[in-house]
Amino acid sequence: MDLFDSIVESEQRDVQLAPGAMLLAGFARPLEAALIEAVAAIIARAPFRHLVTPGGHRMSVAMTNCGRVGWVSDRTGYRYDTNDPDSGLPWPSMPETFADLALRAADGAGFADFRPDACLINRYEPGAKLSLHQDKDELDFNAPIVSVSLGLPATFLFGGLNRNDKTTRYRLAHGDVVVWGGSARLAYHGVMPLADGEHPLLGNQRINLTFRKTR
């Protein structure tokens, strides 16, 4: 049985994924230079790394963080921490450009006054993927998730509140932003293996910024 709908192309138009979930096509493109520069400054202080899940699996997606806290994973579990476990230092602060983008995108999707305190920065290289999961390590589920795509296009999976619910595939291009909250806040979502390619600004990779309010 096919659990997937056909891929939804989102270029040049916004798409409602579900009540409370919206794809804002190209929303971040006007800020692409500032966002890429900010990412470079962050990874100079807190480099990308491949985290290990509690079950011992090495994640194919490399990641780092900025903000008051950062999301980390190891054999002891998933959690938010104020310090980078690799350096022992606080995570780099969240750039104003990041926070302002997240605020405006959330507002555009119907969620006013979103003030994230964490930004997860993921790097996808060809073949990297993210299995279906819920974002549920936060203490405040009233705030939405704001996810920004930069670089190579990706196929984003968005489903329901149960892992076995039908999942629709959405093509996310450079500058697209997805916001989900309200009744969709705990929807299962993921990313299919990244296809090979070359982006004119970021080369052979996709960078994803995921903004969250953890408390």
207 is in an annotated binding site: yes
Torsional sign, CA 184, 56, 150, 158:
negative
188 is in an annotated binding site: no
113 is in an annotated binding site: no
C-beta atoms surrounding 99 within 10 Å: 18
185 is in an annotated binding site: no
78 is in an annotated binding site: yes
168 is in an annotated binding site: no
Q: DSSP assignment of 20-83, as one string?
A: TEEEETTTTGGGHHHHHHHHHHHHHHS--B--B-TTSPBPSSEEEEEES-EEEEETTEEEEESB
Q: Chain centroid to CA 31: how far?
A: 17
211 is in an annotated binding site: yes
79 is in an annotated binding site: yes
209 is in an annotated binding site: yes
170 is in an annotated binding site: no
Q: Which two tokens stand for residue 172?
A: 């996310």
122 is in an annotated binding site: yes
206 is in an annotated binding site: yes
81 is in an annotated binding site: no
212 is in an annotated binding site: yes
Residue in 131, 132, 96, 133 with CA at minimum distance from that of residue 116: 96
208 is in an annotated binding site: yes
Residue in 29, 70, 64 with CA at minimum distance from that of residue 45: 64
137 is in an annotated binding site: yes
163 is in an annotated binding site: yes
Binding residues for substrate: 71, 78-80, 137, 163
Going by the annotation, the residues of the binding site for Fe cation are: 133, 135, 189
Binding site per annotation, positions = 71, 78-80, 122-124, 133, 135, 137, 163, 189, 206-212
Residue list for the binding site for 2-oxoglutarate: 122-124, 206-212
